[in-house]
Amino acid sequence: MDDSATMRRMVAASLRTLRDASFDEATNGLEAIERIALHPPSLMILDLNMPDMHGLDVLRFVRSGQHGTRLPIIILTTRNDTESRSAAYEAGATLYMTKPFDPSDLLARVGSLLDSAK
């Protein structure tokens, strides 16, 4: 989930080679929560800087739900400060990555998390 359409396309393009992968996008935190409730994903990539609802609030909400405790959640954000990183891990982030990102690194990390979830 990212409010930038360009960033969402870049992430999807980076993960295109994953087998049997499908992608759902949300442009803000409230939309993400709605989509997760209707169709729980296998993995979530979440930005911290979102309109309507901060990414940490989305993360906390997802973690408090029925399927949220097992869901791998990668924070992918421009925020590269220690406080943001610590807050994300405290809220339950699985991984924390910063933008700009290396597409092959994102692909490897997502593939590893999906493999370990099987």
Instruction: Report the b/e string of 79-109 with b at 16+ CB within 10 A.
Output: beeeebbebbeebbbebbeeeebeeeebeeb
Give residue-wise pLDDT tens across range 28-47.
999 999 998 888 899 999 99
pTM: 0.92
Domains and CATH numbers, the chain: 5-108 (3.40.50.2300)
Angle at 30 between CA 57 and CA 58, to 5 degrees: 20
Give residue-wise pLDDT tens across range 45-67.
999 998 889 999 999 999 998 76
29 class by beta-carbon count within 10 Å (0-12 exposed, 13-18 middle, 19+ buried): buried
Predicted pLDDT of residue 89: 98
Distance CA 24, CA 42 (A): 11
